[in-house]
């Protein structure tokens, strides 16, 4: 089942997508909802980010090849994580499918995409045994962890390197029936494939992260966990279109502009 959040003429709603038709609901998949018999075509609405989380979690480094390649680029020793320590991103930066990634005027050319599986939490979770973890997942969506690599190296935190407004595209919807082991993540820049990897080839998987996080932190309905990326990005520039597909989940596409 695909949950889509959208702006229509009469307000913002969650709906269930079948083919190109949205069936409107009242409420949300995180609380209570009621189906309606009102339908609208996907191309008549604006797709919104599928959720604005209470807390925005991000695994950061979670694929071995990405760590080794990033270390080589920066001329540093690779530093593989030893524990599933979670990190954070910021809500101000979230945009939806189709919205523009805006590169600030004073950013360098090193504007990179990072194609990530996004886990959407459906139920309040604390002290969850690893084997029960997936019961707390409502579904999956796609994230692009856009990063300014020069700032990432120069600043004390990731604040503007990863959380500049528009740097966190997420969408297009939440797929509730995807199989982690069947997913392949593919990035296309201006239609040309640049990266493709097995989505679940993570250092610490979804179940491990949920189990570790909830030893200390409560996960709430609507919280998201971005699971990290593999491969090495090309630079994105004004006029580009960056498309990330996770098979069985959906395709997130965003144009890129540079502020003038």
Q: Is 174 in the site for a second copy (CB under 8 A)?
A: no
Determine how many CB atoms are found less than 10 A away from the CB of residue 104: 15
Dihedral angle of Cα 150, 116, 218, 128, to the nearest 10 degrees: -140
Beta strand 168-175 with 94-95 is parallel
Q: Which stretch binds a second copy (CB under 8 A): 32-40, 48-56, 108-116, 242-250?
A: 48-56
Q: Does 87 bind a second copy (CB under 8 A)?
A: yes
Q: How many residues does the chain have?
A: 260
Stretch binding a second copy (CB under 8 A), from 4-12, 25-33, 52-60, 229-237: 52-60
Residue from the set 15, 29, 50, 60 that interacts with a second copy by CB under 8 A? 60
Kindly tell me which of 128 and 219 has the beta carbon lying closer to a second copy: 219
Binding residue for a second copy, selected from 8, 28, 54, 69, defined by CB under 8 A: 54
Q: Does 76 bind a second copy (CB under 8 A)?
A: no
Please give, one letter per residue, the 3-state secondary structure of 90-140: CHHHEECCCCCEEECCCCCCCEECCEEEEEEECCCECCCCHHHHHHHEEEE
In the bound complex, what is the minimum distance in angstroms from residue 255's beta carbon to a second copy?
Answer: 20
Other beta carbons less than 10 A from residue 168's beta carbon: 27
Cβ atoms of 55 and 87 within 8 Å: the answer is no
Under rule CB under 8 A, residue 133 binds a second copy: no
156 lines the binding site for a second copy (CB under 8 A): yes
Question: Would you say 166 and 121 are in contact if contact means Cβ atoms under 8 Å apart?
Answer: no
Residue selected from 23, 64, 165, 186 as contacting a second copy according to rule CB under 8 A? 165
Exposure of 216 by Cβ count < 10 A (0-12 exposed, 13-18 middle, 19+ buried)?
A: exposed
Among 55, 133, 144, 185, binds a second copy (CB under 8 A): 55
At 245 the three-state DSSP class reads strand
Nearer to a second copy, 78 or 104 (CB): 104
Candidates 9, 37, 192, 216; binder of a second copy (CB under 8 A) is 216
Reduce the DSSP state of residue 168 to 3 states and report it: strand
Among 95, 121, 178, 219, binds a second copy (CB under 8 A): 219
Interface residues toward a second copy, by CB under 8 A: 52, 54-55, 60, 81, 83, 85-88, 90-93, 104, 126, 155-157, 159-160, 163-165, 213, 215-220, 223
């Amino acid at each position: 089942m695909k949950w889509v959040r959208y702006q229509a003429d009469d307000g913002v709603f969650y709906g269930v997508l079948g083919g190109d038709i949205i069936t409107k609901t009242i409420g949300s998949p995180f609380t209570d909802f009621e189906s309606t018999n009102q339908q609208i075509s996907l191309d008549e609405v604006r797709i919104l980010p599928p959720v604005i989380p209470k807390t925005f979690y991000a695994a950061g480094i979670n694929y071995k090849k990405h760590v080794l390649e990033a270390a080589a680029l920066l001329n540093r020793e690779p530093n593989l994580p030893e524990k599933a320590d979670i990190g954070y991103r910021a809500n101000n930066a979230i945009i939806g499918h189709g919205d523009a990634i805006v590169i600030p005027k004073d950013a360098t050319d090193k504007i990179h995409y990072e194609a990530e599986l996004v886990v959407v939490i459906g139920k309040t979770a604390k002290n969850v045994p690893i084997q029960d973890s997936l019961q707390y997942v409502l579904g999956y969506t796609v994230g692009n962890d856009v990063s300014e690599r020069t700032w990432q190296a120069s600043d004390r935190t990731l604040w503007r390197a990863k959380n500049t407004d528009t740097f966190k595209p997420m969408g297009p919807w939440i797929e509730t029936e995807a199989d982690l082991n069947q997913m392949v993540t593919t990035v296309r820049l201006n239609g040309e494939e640049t990266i493709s990897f097995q989505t679940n080839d993570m250092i610490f998987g979804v179940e491990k992260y949920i189990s570790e996080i909830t030893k200390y932190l409560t996960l709430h309905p609507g919280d998201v966990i971005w699971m990290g990326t593999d491969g090495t990005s090309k630079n994105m520039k004004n006029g580009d279109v960056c498309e990330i597909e996770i098979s069985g989940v959906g395709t997130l596409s965003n144009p890129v502009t540079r502020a003038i």
